[in-house]
A and B are shown apart, each in its own frame.
Chain A
Amino acid sequence: MRTSLLRSLLAVAAVWAVSACATKPPASDAAATAEYRDNNDPLEPTNRVVYAFNDGLDTYVLAPVARAYRWALPDVVRQPIHNALLNMTTPVILINDVVQTKPRRAGDTFMRFVINTTAGVGGLFDVAAKVGYPYHDADFGETMALWGVPEGPFLFLPVFGPSNPRDAVGYGVDVAFDPLTYVPSGHGLRTFAAVRTGVAAVDARSQVLDEVDSVKKTALDPYATFRSLYRQNRESTIDKVRTEDRATVPNWYAK
C-alpha cells in the first residue's frame, strides 16, 4: 500500500515538471520581485489547483470524519488513542534523533518508548512525559535541513498538503524507516498497519480542527495563509532542533 503511494507521488512530481509556472514580476518592480522570491512558490498556479482539490476532499470527507470522531468519543478515549499512535512512531523519531546527532533527544525518545510501552500499557498513557521525558517529533525532512539540504520550491501535494521537495523525500524515507512498513501478511498485521494509517490521519486532522476552521474563516486568501503558516512553522521547528545542545554528561560532572 505504501509503495503504491510513493509511486503516485512520483507521478505527481512528473506532472509538476511539465506544468504551468507563476509569472515572475518584471525586474523593474523591486518590491514585487522580492515578494515573489520570499514566497518561494514558482509553481503557484499548479499548487493552487491541488489546494482546491485537497480543500474539497477535506471539506467533504476528512474534516467531517474528524469532527464525528471528536464528537463521538470523549477526550479520555481519544487521548490514549493519540498516545498509542505517537508511541508507534517512536522508532522513526529515534532513528532521526540519532542521525541528527542529538544524543539527548535520542535518549528522551528511547526512554519514552521503554517507559510508555511498559508502564504506559502499550503506549496508551504518556507516563514518560510526567517523569521528565517530554515528547518531540523528528522527521527526515528536518534531518536533511540540519544537514544543509535546501528546501526547494514550495509544493502543495495531493492529500498530503503543504510541503517541498525536501520534506516530500523526507516523508518517503520516514516510511522506509517505519518497522510497520515491513510487516508480513497474515495474523492481520497488514490490516493493523492500514488501520493505524487511517486512524492516524483522522487523529491528526482532529487535532487541528479549530485552527483550520479559523484560517478558512478569517483569511482572504487561505492558500497563501496556509503556505505562510507551513513555512514559518517548519523553519521554527528546524531552528529549535538546531539550537538544542543539552550536555550529555551529568550536571555535577560538567561543573
Chain B
Amino acid sequence: MTSTRRRMLASAVFAVASLSFAALSPAANAQDSGASGFVQGFGNKLVAVVNADSAMPAKEQQLRPLIDQAVDVDAIAKFCLGRFVNTATPAQMSEFTRLFHGVLVNNITSKIGEYRGVTFRMTDTSMRGSEAYVGTVVQRPNNAPTNVRWVVSSATGSPKIVDVVAEGTSLRLTQRSDYASFLSHNSNNLDALLAAMRRQVSTGG
C-alpha cells in the first residue's frame, strides 16, 4: 500500500474514531489536558523564579519547594539507583533519597538558574501507557531552542513529573547510567556513592 493511500485510510479511520471517541472517552482527554495544564502551570512558576532578578541562593530556596511539590523526586531517586535498590539497606536508601533531593535541586539550578529571559511554549501531548508526555519548546538566550518533554504520571493520585526528556535524552536514564558507572568503578560500594553525593550537595555542584 502506498503511503498516500495509507494516509487516506488513516484519516478516514481517525475521523470515525474521533467522532465516537469524543463521546466515549472524556476521561482520556481530561487526563491528557490535565497533564498539559499541570506542566504549563509548573513551567510558568519555574520561569518566574528563573527570570527574577534575585541572587542564586535565593532562587535555589524558591526552587526547592516548587520542585518538591511538582516532581516525584522519591520515584526518580529509586529509578536512578537501578539494581542497587535491592542491595541498599533502609538507612542507605533514605540517605540516598535525601541527598538526591539536594542533587536534583542543584542540577536544575545550575542548568537554568543563570539565565534571564527564559521562555517556553507548549506543543503536543501524547499518552504512553499511564504516563503523559507533554511537549514544550524552551528558549534560552544565546542558545538554540530545545525540545523538552515532561513525563507526567498520576500514579500517586495527583499529577507529578517523573522525567524530563530534553532533545531525546532522558534525565532519569542519564542519571541512572552515571550512578551505575560510578558504582562499578568503586567496587559497587553504595557508601562511596553517598559520600560523593554528599560532597556534591555541600559544594553546590
Contacts and interface: CB of A to CB of B under 8 A. Distances in A.
A218 B110 contact: yes
A121 B8 CA distance: 40
B90 interface: no
Contacts of A219: 178
Interface in B5-39: 7-8, 11
Interface in A73-97: 75
Nearest to B193: A220
B130 interface: no
A7 interface: no
B181 interface: yes
Nearest to B168: A236
Contact of B181 (A207, A210, A223): A223
B144 interface: yes
Contacts of A249: 4
Dominant secondary structure of chain A at its interface with chain B: helix
A255 B11 CA distance: 8
B4 A35 contact: no
A225 B179 CA distance: 9
A228 B4 contact: no
Contacts of B181: 39, 220-221, 223-224
Contacts of A17: none
Contacts, number: 87
A233 B143 contact: no
Interface in B71-128: 82-83, 103, 106-107, 110-111
Contacts of A70: 142
Contacts of A227: 177
Nearest to A223: B181
A214 interface: yes
A190 B140 CA distance: 36
A39 B173 CA distance: 12
Interface in B141-164: 141-144
Interface of A: 31-32, 35, 39, 70, 75, 207, 210, 214, 217-221, 223-225, 227-229, 232-233, 235-237, 239-240, 245, 247-249, 254-255
Interface of B: 3-4, 7-8, 11, 82-83, 103, 106-107, 110-111, 140-144, 167-170, 173-174, 177-182, 184-185, 193, 196-197, 200, 205
29 contacts: A35-B83, A35-B184, A75-B142, A207-B143, A210-B111, A217-B110, A218-B106, A220-B181, A220-B196, A221-B181, A224-B178, A224-B181, A225-B174, A228-B169, A228-B173, A232-B168, A232-B169, A232-B170, A233-B168, A233-B169, A237-B168, A239-B168, A245-B3, A248-B4, A254-B4, A254-B7, A254-B8, A255-B8, A255-B11
